[in-house]
Structure 1
Amino acid sequence: MDDEVGKIGVYGMGGVGKTTLMTHIHNKFKNAGIFNCVICVTVSKESDLEELQGRLSKALGITDFSNYKDALCKSAKLFEAFNRRGKFLLILDDMWSTFPLTKVGVPEPNQENKCKIVWTTRSKKLCRGMGSERIIEVDGLAEDESWTLFKEKLGIDFVLSPEIEPIAKAVVEECDGLPLGIITVGAAMRGVDDTVIWRNALEDLKNSRPDLEGLEDDVFSCLRFSFDHLKTQIHRDCFLYCALYPEDDQISYDSLIEKWMADGFFDEIEDREKGFDKCYTIINDLKDACMLENCKNVHGSFVKMHDLLRDLAIAITRKSHQFVVKVRSNVGKFPRDESLMDDVIRVSLMHSNIEMLSCQSKCPKLSTLLLEGSRLGNIDHLFFEHIQNLRVLDLSHACFMCFPQSLSNLVNLHALLLRYCVNLREVPSLVQLRELRVLDLSGTSIKYLPDGMDGLTNLRCLGLSVTAKLEMVPVAAISSFSHLEELLMVGSKWKWSSNEDRKGRGAGVEDIVRLMHLKKLLVDFVDLSAFSTYVRSGHWRGLNCFLLTVGNPFNDLVEIKYNFYSRECLVNVSDSDCLNSVAFPESNLTELSITRLHNLSTIYMEEPTQGDKLANLKCIEIRKCPKLKYVLSIGWFQTLQNLEEIIVADCRAMDEMVVDMGDMGEANNKIPITLPRLKRITLSHLPNLKSICKRTLICSSLEQIVVLYCPMLKMLPFSINSLLSSLKQIEGSRRWWDSLEWDSANTKMYLQPFFLDCPDFSFQKEEDQERHETKRKGDSIS
């Protein structure tokens, strides 16, 4: 490390591997102990100053950043956060324009702070413009490296015949040493053992120089080849659809699948679950072809497009005038060029500054209009009269307050997505929208459902979660949804009770039971009686996924004890002063979350008689239960073979996380417990915790251990041999780390490189944590 060099510019053509290189650098230095803080942020072509500041604030864990509206205030907040962390390494990937670091809020590296900033770009000129003290060019792979990578993508078990191998090497030469091209072409040719097909592929590559303005031939001939060789036209259409999302955006499976189905890609599939399965397969095919990348995200399954593949998709659709993509732009108004808009079928203005949808725009073929996250404030009362073939309308997170009556003209609409349009108080009649399959009003301010709901007989999914002002769900509406497969209503003001208690005012539990096609149910029951009524009905046995909550708070609840056997299940128990025990018998629980049960002292489960009773449990989260003394018994703990995460926080009475119930026998107490999938354990604000587990834990996948404010915890029970292959970080205070007791001096020596000292300033206030967690869960529900 050269302390005299603080700013490093890395440049090279697109697809050469700059991002991969930065990922390796980030991972290498994150736990090396050289820097106090290592951050990697993607800038991207469409990012402006505000967007970049937002990404930096997220990476730095600044929870109140959205409260600062002025750019100077944001800059000062970032500057302060960087300075608090001391010596940092900041990686800015995929830069397209220069900017002063101080304007963003990033301190300049110097001899005193010894910080370093690395940026990647396609332009050497930009490196100079940013004042790089060292400039590094990333070249393509050498011939032997290219051949090795290509064979890897063909598959380790695939052997090329003597006739095919020279043709394959010629194919690799056409990729010109570019890793992205080699990877996508290799994936396209995986499993092909026909010499004729290989010869034809070589000719296609030589002749596929794209006639696409602004694209480099060497890169895009490979990518165009891979696109053309996708399995079916549906695969190609689904790939192109992904370009409607912002560059470097993490795209959720659910979002893609919902829109693909609504836009008519799979009209022949009526069953929503079967449609999801088909779309899921398409996504995996695109990943296998290296046309989409997998993303790690705690909120579910996500993919992203490489920026070059997105550029290719946009160029292809632009040439045919089928797409208009102006995401994160200052577009101002809806596009109005009639000569171009006549053929447009999909428009994306996501996260743009558009404020008005005017009636002057005529798009007779438009099927998808995406305005999610835009600043849209007004919609002309005639706008929807000119786009009557629209099938997908997504206005989620927009600012407008009301819809024009012309919404009723969208007779072909299949999906109306209005998630978190917080200013929206009323939706016009939907009586003409008889083709509607998906209606999502989650997070809006509506008091009453729109007129015409009882005519939506084709509706498959209704989203009403976090509707804090919703007064009533009419019986007529629910009873008409004969094909409804998903009812999502967690966090709504309207809570479900029995029809008898309703006394004719609105729908009740019995109306849910009559929804015979329901597969996914997320609802709040008003009390234990309503919950019991539903459970006794047996309706839940037909569900594939459910989240059922009872009361808020639990006024008369003493114990919950029910069996569930679904493929996915989340039990969420929170906010009670009178609940003193919670019992969960054998089930297919995937997540157990217990929060703010102030008198809870016991989580009771009869000791398992067989090892698979909680086989599907992936996450245990226990927060703010001040009288709870332990989480689970050893008997149950050792059955959790799919457990991935443990979070225990703010439980003052807890002295052991996993307790020995006293009947295990001395010999058994020496047998280690294996948790093969555990990735993260977080223990926070447990002042009396003395033990995690009395037995040794073998956790071969454990990546992160976080221990905050647990002064009595003096030993870690993990097997050192199982940790070293997976561990990335141990977070805690220096005082706690130095107080730990070890079986041998070597153990601390081995683990020391993974330790990250977390002083007090790095933790959020408790109320900030709760607010962030509430928002996260609301977003994941929607």
Structure 2
Amino acid sequence: MEAHKKIKVECLQQAEALKLFLDKVGAETLDRHPDIRKLAETMAEECGGLSLALITIGRAMSSKKTPGEWKYAMKALRQSAASVFPGIGKKMFPQLKFSYDCLPDERVRSCFLYCCLFPSGFPIRKSELIHCWIGEGLLDHLVSSVRNQGEYILGSLIDACLLEDVRSDIVKMHDVIRDMALWIASESEKNKFCVKAGMQLKGQPVAENWEDVRRVSLMGNQIESLTQVFVCPNLLTLFLGKNELKVIINDFFNFMPMLKVLDLSFNINLDELPVGIAKLVSLEHLDLSYTGLKTLPVELKVLEKLKYLNIEHTSNLKTIPPQLISNVSKLQVLKMVGSGYEWLVEEVECLAYLNVLTISIESLSMLERAMMSLKLQSCNVEAVILKLLKGSRFLSISALANIQPLDFLGVYDCEDLEEVKIERAEIASAGWFRSVTLIKLARCPKLKDATWIFFVPHLVKMAIHECQDLEEVISEDKLSEDDKLTENSNLFSELEAFDLQKLPKLKTIYRDALPFPQLKEAIIKECPKLRKLPLNSESAEGQKIVIQGEEWWKNVEWEDECTRYHFLHSFHPIYL
């Protein structure tokens, strides 16, 4: 029986899950009111195909005889099953908890519980989760080796079916598994959580015993201001991302002396930080990405333990006090890609412990200076955006061959750019393209094609937006004879998603049909001249692909009727 092998038990398909749930609710309850059956169908979907949840919750709902009871239970279920059904935790979670108990050690179990801080169904970026684990001290502090440790733990959680591997860079936690994690945390003496993520809160929550709380998540709400002081002497992690914050009073951080991880990301209306942030003397991880900040307070200089600073995609951030970056001397991770701040090579050179860097480059002279930087050559540059390169009709990216391990490359807002070039021999010898998984081209109105993508063997996601003159993604005419003779049969073999939007002249993606063994999602929007996709009946065989688009779908020229039928149910319309 090969009992030593692990066999993954998949979640039930929608029809099977619904039948199981309705059986457990029973006909007597379902027939009490015409609305109940429809509510039951929706509740079954919330269980996500997990048999144990369908059975346990179905039985619990068998005694609920009015639509009002069902509606209340539905709303509460989206927050936590254990909160609405008394005793359900003790009935359902101990069986699920077996996977948790079998995890290798306490470190891995703590990393798992940390994931319930994110809202229900939230796509969690693997690299950012690992950095949070590092910041709170769940992993070792040497970033150069600890990333591997984090990836190993993620693999263990995925193998145990406690996390879902959504994409190569993203995981999710099943809603019922998240409920179990919250239940475990509530039962633990040392893991004190306050999780009110995704609950549509308008203001700060009122809670008891803040003194004992170690982790707080208010992610994904509608909180506009933080005007009440939290007294949290033992707080280690505070998630405030994806709110509508405009104001944080100066005293807000006064009584959080142990705080190590602070996430304020995706608060686009937050244009300044309180000077009281200087009180966070233990802070190691600060995420300010996708905020409306115009500058950083000079008080950040006193955060002597800060090791991670993320100011990515802060387009309003035009100034940073002189020597602020270089004075935060313990920084190991500095993420600046997409920031409005024109970073200084000299300041980065002063960061002796810097190990991870992401940057935007806005001129050819800055690109040349960056390429000469010893710091850039010695640390891990994970993302580069080239943007606003005025007057450049042709751009050679061969100079980036020495930057490793580059994961994301973007080319944005280059109004004169007609072609991106590479020197094939240099790229082949350096092996640089082997690390790139994400590419985005945006707002380059004169760009004709993106043929250089042909030489990116491990591409996972590709996005091309608002390139008005782009006619082809990969041009056959620009491939050399050698390229055609030794055509890369692995082209797009690892591609999981592509996103093509506002390309009015786009006619082809690639000349021939290709296998897409990993493709999960394609978005094609406002590409009126695109008539043929690089697909045949064998493309993405065995994969469920979602193709989103508009009316152009009706005019697609399929290779044959078999191909048309194969992808008939893949299309989901986007309504403008």
- Output the TM-score relative to the length of structure 1: 0.56
Say which SS state the counterpart of residue 259 (structure 2) adopts.
coil
Query: How far apart are residue 254 of structure 1 and its match?
Result: 4.4
Cα pair 2:120 2:198 within 8 Å, conserved: no
For the pair 1:270 / 2:141, whether they are aligned, the reply is yes
* 2:217 aligns with one of 341, 346, 370: 370
The equivalent position to 2:171 in structure 1, one of 302, 309, 316, is 302
Deviation at 1:214, TM superposition (A): 0.4
Q: How is 1:378-777 mapped onto 2 (pairs within 5 angstroms)?
A: 379=226, 383-384=229-230, 386-398=231-243, 399=245, 401-405=247-251, 407-421=253-267, 422-423=269-270, 425-496=272-343, 508-550=344-386, 553-557=388-392, 559-561=394-396, 562-565=399-402, 566-585=404-423, 614-622=433-441, 625-632=444-451, 637=454, 639-647=455-463, 650-652=467-469, 654=471, 657-661=474-478, 664=481, 673-675=489-491, 676-680=493-497, 692-694=509-511, 697-702=514-519, 718=535, 720-721=537-538, 723-726=540-543, 728=545, 740=557, 742=559, 747-755=560-568, 762-763=573-574
Checking the alignment, whether the CA contact within 8 Å between 1:19 and 1:93 is kept in structure 2 is no
Amino acid at match of 1:521: L
Please report how far the alpha carbon of residue 461 of structure 1 lies from its aligned counterpart in structure 2 after TM superposition. Answer: 1.0
Task: Give SS of 2:481's match.
Answer: coil
- Residues 428, 253 of structure 1: alpha-carbon distance in 2 compared, 3 angstrom cutoff: same
Deviations 1:323-354 (A, max 9, x none): 6xxxxxxxxxxxxxxxxxxxxx3322323426
Q: Distance in 1 between matches of 2:133 and 2:347?
A: 30
* CA separation of 1:749 and 1:544: change in aligned 2, threshold 3 A: same
State whether structure 2 residue 140 is matched by structure 1 residue 237.
no
Any conservation in 2 of the 1:95–1:121 contact (CA below 8 Å)? no
Q: Deviations over 1:688-712 (max 9, x none)?
A: 6665545564544455667677676
Contact 1:618 1:643 in 2 (8 A): yes
Single out whichever of 446-455 and 720-729 deviates more from structure 2. 720-729
Pair 1:242–1:706, CA change in 2 (3 A): closer
Structural RMSD (CA): 4.5
Instruction: Write the distance in 1 (CA, Å) between the matches of 2:255 and 2:90.
Output: 45
Question: For 1:245 and 1:670, how far apart are their aligned partners in 2?
Answer: 46
Quote the offset at 1:401 in angstroms: 0.5
The structure-2 alpha-carbon separation of the partners of 1:584 and 1:314, relative to structure 1 and needing over 3 Å to count, comes to same
Deviation by residue 1:264-319 (Cα, 9 ceiling, x = unmatched): 434xx2323444433332232222223x1314258x32130451x44444344434
Which residue in 2 is equivalent to 1:21? 13
The answer for the alignment partner of 1:50 in structure 2 is none
Between the aligned partners of 2:426 and 2:298, the Cα distance in structure 1 is 53
* CA–CA distance in structure 2, aligned partners of residues 735 and 473 of structure 1: 47
Task: Tell me the amino acid that sits aligned with residue 227 of structure 1.
Answer: Y
Residue 752 of structure 1 and its aligned partner are, at CA, apart by 1.8
1:228 aligns with 2:101: yes
The percentage of counterpart residues that share the same residue type is: 22
Q: What is residue 215 of structure 1 aligned with on the other side?
A: 88
Q: Which residue of 2 aligns with 1:6?
A: none
Instruction: Indicate if the aligned counterparts of 1:357 and 1:379 stay in contact, CA closer than 8 A.
Output: no
Distance in 2 of aligned mates of 1:306 and 1:276 = 27
| Inter-partner Cα distance in structure 1 for 2:550 and 2:156 | 45
What is the distance in 2 between the residues matched to 1:378 and 1:653? 44
Q: 1:487 to 1:245 in 2, by over 3 A?
A: closer
1:230 counterpart letter in structure 2 = L
Letter in 2 for 1:92: T
Larger Rg: 1
* Whole-angstrom CA distance in 1 between matches of 2:410 and 2:102: 46
**In 1, Cα distance between the equivalents of 2:179 and 2:529?**
55
Letter of the 1:462 counterpart: L
Q: Which residue type is aligned with residue 427 of structure 1?
A: P
Q: Distance in 2 between matches of 1:448 and 1:705?
A: 37
Q: Aligned partner of 1:294: which letter?
A: E
Amino acid at match of 2:389: F
8 Å CA contact retained: 1:528, 1:550? no
Q: Summarize deviations over 1:380-429 as a string: whole Å, max 9, x none.
A: 56x34x32232222222343512232624433222222223324533124
TM-superposed CA distance for 1:487, in Å, is: 1.5
Listed as ranges, the matches of 1:244-323 within 5 Å are 244-254=117-127, 256-266=129-139, 269-290=140-161, 292-297=162-167, 300-307=169-176, 309-320=177-188
Secondary structure, in 3 states, of the residue corresponding to 1:564?
helix
Range that drifts further, 248-257 or 121-130: 121-130
Distance 2:443 2:294 in 1: 33
Secondary structure class of the residue paired with 2:286: strand
Aligned 8 A contact 1:657 1:689 in 2: no
TM-score of the aligned structures, taking structure 2 as reference length? 0.73
Q: 1:306 to 1:756 in 2, by over 3 A?
A: closer
In the comparison of the two structures, how many residue pairs are matched? 516
Return the alpha-carbon distance in structure 2 between the equivalents of residues 449 and 251 of structure 1.
27
Gaps of 5+ in 1: 1-16, 27-89, 98-117, 132-211, 324-344, 497-507, 586-604, 766-782
Q: Distance in 2 between matches of 1:733 and 1:287?
A: 35
SS in 2 for 1:755: coil
CA distance in 2, matches of 1:730, 1:397: 27
Number of the residue aligned with 1:92: 42
Contact kept, 8 Å, 1:683 with 1:706, in 2: the verdict is: yes
Question: Over residues 495-544 of structure 1, what are the superposed CA-to-partner deviations in whole Å (9 max), with x where a residue is unaligned?
Answer: 22xxxxxxxxxxx3211122132222233345332332222123211232
Q: Find the residue that maps to 1:475 and give its secondary structure.
A: coil
Instruction: Give the aligned residue type for 2:12.
Output: T
SS in 2 for 1:416: strand
Give the distance between the partners of 2:112 and 2:226, measured in 1 at CA.
30
CA contact (8 A) 1:522 1:548 kept: yes
CA distance in 1, matches of 2:308, 2:227: 28
Instruction: Return closer, same or farther for 1:396/1:563 CA change in 2, 3 Å cut-off.
Output: closer
Checking the alignment, whether the CA contact within 8 Å between 1:549 and 1:571 is kept in structure 2 is yes
- Deviation, structure 1 residue 573: 1.8
Secondary structure in structure 2 of the residue aligned to 1:364: helix
Shift of the 612–537 alpha-carbon distance from structure 1 to 2, 3 Å rule, reads: closer
SS in 1 for 2:42: strand
* Partners of 1:22 and 1:91 within 8 A in 2: no
Equivalent position to 2:203, from 347, 351, 355:
355
Question: CA offset at residue 484 of structure 1?
Answer: 0.7
CA distance in 2 between partners of 1:609 and 1:273 (Å): 26
